[in-house]
Structure 1
Amino acid sequence: MRRAPPLYAAGGAALALLPVAMVLANRSSPILVAVAALAFLGGRWREEPRALPGLLVAPLRTPLGLACLAFLGWSVLSIAWSPFPALSLRVLGEFLPTLISAYFLVILAPGRIPAFAAPMAALAVVVAGVIIAIDLALDLPLERLLGHRVAAFVFNRPALTLDLIAGPLALLLWRSNRKLAAGATLAFAGLGVLRSISGAAAMGLMAGLAMAAAVWVLPRRMGIALAGLGLGLAVALAPIEGDLLARVMPEAAHQQLTQSSSRARVAIARSFGTAVAASPWRGAGYGTSARFAETPVAAQVPEGMRVLLGVGHPHNSFLQVWAELGLPGAFLAALALMLMLARLSVLPRADLTVALGLVACAGAIAFVEHNGWAGWWTAGLGAAITWARAARARLRPPGTELQP
């Protein structure tokens, strides 16, 4: 740490400590990502003040950047017809600052992260996995000690965070000739995920591993096509997910997924899908899921399907986009996802494998998770992408800037 510039050292430490911090306080990742982003912003400002604005603006001028800005613009515009503008602004107030912090971190940190940060992050992952496993096995004594809510699901967010960051961090460690640390990162992240009660985390782990294996063995174009097909179907079929699952999901599957409340999830998806069909063009407005049952859109839903609109979220981030932002929001989200895959397609094989594994993991989680705008989720994605780009930076020629 003494060899790293102080600001970069602080930013690297904040990023590295994120996994264990999430175990101790499962909403802490936005704060750590913000601290890390500010540290790297300050460091880059000292290092190259004239180049900094260009570094931050350049990615937004690409087709992917413009699509993301259009999606954000439509989200903000939809607050104009939100029946609960204060709620919409509160949700945006959590999401947007975290998104900006994550963006700054992703752009500015790779290539400047101190050498100690990746091993520290590996140790944080190991500690996080061990704490999750032991605390659950001993009936949550740590949660009692910390005065937290004593419930097994308190580790769901930390487990989902481990899901996201393990692969990218392991790649960076491997390229840094820390192969044992890379293996430990994957192993103990898997321990934390599989020992938690989060079905979403286990689903994300399996999807990420399956996609990574497919990309590693298949021709490059087939791997990209497979990821594109999965994301495209996730967006396109979200409004009819509930009806599809109600028809094709066997009773035996529901019996196996009792802990995941699969029947309730199917019913919730059917209710929100009915709401999308009632108002497909512009949605109920950004951030309205928490009070969706009180929106004018809900009044158009048959009474028998209306009750479960009051659960607070559709348990599917793709369906959430449809319900809140309508067809334009879904189209812009799909466009951004496809442009993202186009950008990833030029990566070297190992980087592409990890990147598409992360895409599959995050997509699978988003398909069953609660809130696509949650700050902890945005921060976790930002940290994962930062580690992935840091691994990519290890391959660039000395003295050159990593392309956004």
Structure 2
Amino acid sequence: MSASLAATPLRDRLAVWCGWVLVGAAAIIPLLGWLWPREFWLAPALVGLLCLPAVRLRDQDRPVAIVLFAGLIWAAVSTMWSPYHPPKLDNSTILKLALQLPLYGSAILAARRADPVLNRRALQVLAWGCALFGVVFLAEAATQGAVYKALRVVYGPMRDDLAESRIGHATYLLGAIWPLAAYGAARKVRPWLTLAMFAGTGAAAVVFGSDAPVLGLVLAPAVALIVWRWPSGGPKLLAVLAAVLFLSMPLVVWAVRHFFDYQAIQNALPLTDSMRLGYWSHAIDWIRARPFLGWGLDASRMFGPGIKLHPHNNPLQVWMELGVVGAVLAAAFWVVVLSGLSRAKPSLAMAATAACAATYLLFGVNFGVWQEWWLGLGAVVAMLAVMNAPAAEPERSSL
């Protein structure tokens, strides 16, 4: 790498540096996803830290940046009335968010700044790595997690049930990024790489009880087809649906509880899903008690035993902690991002990006919105979207 930098003009060195950082990130993303899924945030954080000199906002970046910054400010203000006070500095969600916003933003902008040749190399490395990830998932599904369990004996023994849960968790990671990884592979006409990602995710998700990734394998191709068929209107429709999801989720849960036998639905579901429905029911009661300002950042930690840590639902947690202001900002974010995928002509890159975004939104009804690995996964999806975007006019270096 040093030889490449030495032979490159000064104005291009940053592009080469960002390119090599992306190649390294592409190599570790599948490994982190398999062995350390809860530390997945390390990938975008390291890219962002190493590529901070690449930060340069364009006019089209400003709407998203404004919405995110406004959300960060509102979250910080809400800590004034939150009943939760972190016992240690590393438990402070607002501090983590304040660091994640510039670091993850830097990672996304680095993908745009990277040297095109190295960017393509990074996409190839990612495609092969994710395909191998899928093959490993097939082996894990066939052996009930024998490979992962054997490795855990070496670097950290873990009970079999927890190991299997961790493998199931990992299916969400590959399940969210495979359309963009597959698009990078498809441009080299290697369909078997895509098949390995798809089949591995599905097999492991079924065996280890991860329902959402199985649904995601159906949703992603459907959304991609819609955006490919209607490149202008498809992303806008998706943007409207995302906004409706965030704005109406409390009403949806209330309607199900009011018009149907909510307890019977809970009893008919597997334990983990039944527990989530219980959290959601308690969450809408707390939302109704304070709908405008919310209860403050991380307040849902204090509403046990009805809610354990958080409602396990992104929209409900935003409503519960940040109120209608937070919900509107979240909806605005998705409207700006998804409507920005509209194109006059069909684009496979935009279709793959929309598929990943839709899958991420689907998975969001399972997890806490502030979890580091979850926000890191969103940053990786955005980073891959930029890496896969069709080449635009070359950017002039600010050096």
**Structure 2 length as normaliser, TM-score?**
0.82
- Give yes or no for the alignment of 1:198 onto 2:210: yes
Deviations 1:69-112 (A, max 9, x none): 11111011111111223269622344443443221111112343
Q: Does 1:372 align with 2:389?
A: no
Q: Taking structure 1 as reference, are residues 104 and 389 closer, same or farther at Cα in structure 2, changes over 3 Å only?
A: same
Structure 1 partner of 2:129? 124
Moved more, 262-271 or 274-283: 262-271
Partner of 1:362: 360
* 2:254 equivalent in structure 1: 243
Judge conservation of contact 2:41–2:372 (CA < 8 Å) in 1.
Answer: yes
Which residue is 1:335 aligned to? 332
2:234 aligned to which of 200, 223, 231: 223
The residue type paired with residue 25 of structure 1 is: W
Report the equivalent of 1:318: 315
* Deviations 1:139-159 (CA, angstroms, capped at 9, x unpaired): 433335241343221123321
Shift of 1:183: 4.8
Equivalent residue, structure 1, for 2:12: none
Aligned to 2:42: 31
How has the CA–CA distance of structure 1 residues 99 and 185 changed in structure 2, closer, same or farther, with 3 Å as cutoff? farther
Give the Cα separation in 1 of the matches to 2:141 and 2:197.
Answer: 20
Say which SS state the counterpart of residue 92 (structure 2) adopts: helix
Displaced runs of 4+ in structure 1, greater than 6 A?
249-255
Distance 1:260 1:15, change over 3 A: farther
The amino acid across from 2:126 in the alignment is A
* Whole-angstrom CA distance in 1 between matches of 2:86 and 2:27: 35
Deviation at 1:327, TM superposition (A): 0.9
Q: Cα–Cα, structure 1 residues 392 and 225, in superposed 2: closer, same or farther, change >3 Å?
A: closer
The 5-angstrom pairing of residues 244-283 of structure 1 reads 244-246=255-257, 247-248=259-260, 258-259=269-270, 261-283=272-294
TM-superposed deviation, 1:341: 2.4
Alignment counterpart, residue 170 of structure 2, candidates 148, 151, 158: 158
- Structure 1 residues 103 and 61, CA gap change in structure 2 (3 angstroms): closer
Among 138, 149, 153, the residue aligned to 1:133: 138
The one-letter amino acid paired with 2:122 is A
The CA RMSD measured in Å over matched residues stands at 3.1
Distance 2:69 2:260 in 1: 37
Alignment partners' CA distance in 2, 1:62 and 1:15? 27
Note if 1:175 corresponds to 2:187. yes
Aligned counterparts of 2:32 and 2:83: Cα–Cα separation in 1: 36
For the 8 Å contact 2:201–2:213, the answer to whether it is kept is no
Q: CA deviation at 1:280?
A: 0.6
Partner of residue 385, structure 2: 388
Q: Please say which of residues 127-136 and 155-164 is displaced more in the overlay.
A: 127-136
CA distance in structure 2 between the partners assigned to 1:78 and 1:243 by the alignment: 25
- Given that 1:40 and 1:108 are in contact with CA atoms closer than 8 Å, whether structure 2 keeps it comes out as yes
Q: 1:38 to 1:68 in 2, by over 3 A?
A: closer
Instruction: Provide the residue aligned with 1:284 in structure 2.
Output: 295
Equivalent-residue separation in structure 2 for 1:370 and 1:243 (angstroms): 20
Asked whether the equivalents of residues 19 and 125 of structure 1 are also in contact (C-alpha less than 8 Å), the reply is: yes
Q: After TM superposition, give the deviation of residue 30 of structure 1 in Å.
A: 1.5
Number of matched pairs: 372
In structure 2, how many angstroms separate the alpha carbons of the residues matched to 1:95 and 1:193?
30
Cα distance change of structure 1 residues 401 and 106 upon mapping to structure 2, 3 Å threshold:
farther
Cα deviation digits, residues 20-77 of structure 1 (max 9, x gap): 2221112221222222223333xxx4xxxxxx45x1x436962232122111110111
State, as a whole percentage, how many aligned pairs show the same letter.
Answer: 21
| TM superposition shift of 1:277 | 0.4
Q: Quickly say closer, same or farther: Cα 1:136–1:149, change in 2 above 3 A.
A: farther
In structure 2, relative to structure 1, the CA distance for the partners of 1:261 and 1:32 (3 Å cut) is closer
TM-score normalised by length of structure 1: 0.81
C-alpha distance in 1 between matches for 2:175 and 2:193: 17
Segment drifting more, 25-34 vs 138-147: 138-147
The 1-side partners of 2:4 and 2:204 are apart by: 33
**Aligned partners of 1:176, 1:3: CA distance in 2, in Å?**
25
- Rounded Cα–Cα distance in structure 2 between residues aligned with 1:372 and 1:349: 30
- The answer for the alignment partner of 2:110 in structure 1 is 108
| 1:263-301 deviations in Å (ceiling 9; x for gaps) | 3332321210011000111111112222234xxxxxxxx
Distance in 2, Cα, partners of 1:401 & 1:289: 46
* Residues 10 and 62 (structure 1), Cα distance of their counterparts in 2 relative to 1, 3 Å cut: closer
What is the DSSP-based 3-state SS (H/G/I as helix, E as strand, rest coil) of the residue aligned with 2:38? coil
Counterpart in the other structure of 1:69: 69
Asked if residue 12 in structure 1 is aligned to residue 23 in structure 2, the reply is yes
Could you tell me how far 1:116 is from its partner in structure 2?
3.3
